[in-house]
Amino acid sequence: MKQRFIALRYLLSALAISAALSLVCFAQQASGGAGLPAVKSVSADPVATLVADWTRARDYTKEYLDAMPEDGINFKPTPEIRSFAEQMLHLANANFAFVSTATGKANPYQGKQLEKMDDYKNKAALTKIVMESYDFAINAAKTVDLKKADEPVKFFSFDLTRGGAWSKGFEHQTHHRGQTTIYLRLKGVKPPQEKLF
């Protein structure tokens, strides 16, 4: 009997906490969401999720590009590492390569090393090419054939699947964008707020 009473007490406590959290969420929505941003629901459609994730990544990366002042585009925290522009160009080059591998679509910059090209080392040109790489991914994601996700592909000397190439590509762009957070901080710029959803 005592155990039932304890279990009932825990259940009622959990329900009370759940009700309280629901009221907080309702109040936040009613007040225009002044607190945390609303969490978007996850789609059950994997293609829609892929498109949404790459769109979110593009928008987040654009905020980083917008945040860096023109005089910081070629900034290097130390001489032996990539500049801000080179990080973003490396990211763009890899977006094209991973998505091309994942889909079989022709890489428009095949054989080019964007980070070595001075043409893209100003803010306008850098932003344009990086956004082009995300648009390439988003447009390819809209027509992805999920039946081919397990097909083996080669990415340089690595054995992947088409689905694995999508996954590694997303991880790669996240990594390199994340590295540039310190570049912004060192230039006295507050990095954009995380866009996890």
Q: Distance between CA atoms of 32 and 81, rounded to whole angstroms?
A: 44
Q: What is the model's pLDDT at position 120?
A: 97
What does the pLDDT look like over 34-92, one tens digit per residue? 444 455 555 689 999 999 999 999 999 999 999 999 999 999 999 999 999 999 999 99
Select the highest-mean-pLDDT range: 20-29, 123-132, 148-157.
Answer: 123-132
> Judging by DSSP bridges, how do beta strands 158-161 and 152-155 pair with one another?
antiparallel
State the CB neighbour count (10 A cutoff) for residue 161: 15
Higher pLDDT, 36 or 148: 148
Q: Distance between CA atoms of 121 and 98, rounded to whole angstroms?
A: 22
What is the number of alpha carbons within 13 Å of residue 63 lying toward its C-beta? 13
Q: What is the model's pLDDT at position 117?
A: 96
Three-state DSSP string of 35-92: CCCCCCCCCCCHHHHHHHHHHHHHHHHHHHHHHCCHHHCCCCCCCCCCCHHHHHHHHH
With cut-offs at 50, 70 and 90, classify the pLDDT of residue 166. very high
Q: What is the model's pLDDT at position 197?
A: 85
What does the pLDDT look like over 97-137, one tens digit per residue? 999 999 999 999 999 999 999 999 999 999 999 999 999 99
Q: What is the model's pLDDT at position 154?
A: 92
Q: What is the model's pLDDT at position 41?
A: 55
pTM: 0.78
With cut-offs at 50, 70 and 90, classify the pLDDT of residue 192. very high
What is the number of alpha carbons within 13 Å of residue 66 lying toward its C-beta? 9
* SS3 of the chain: helix, strand, coil, percent, to 5: 65, 5, 30
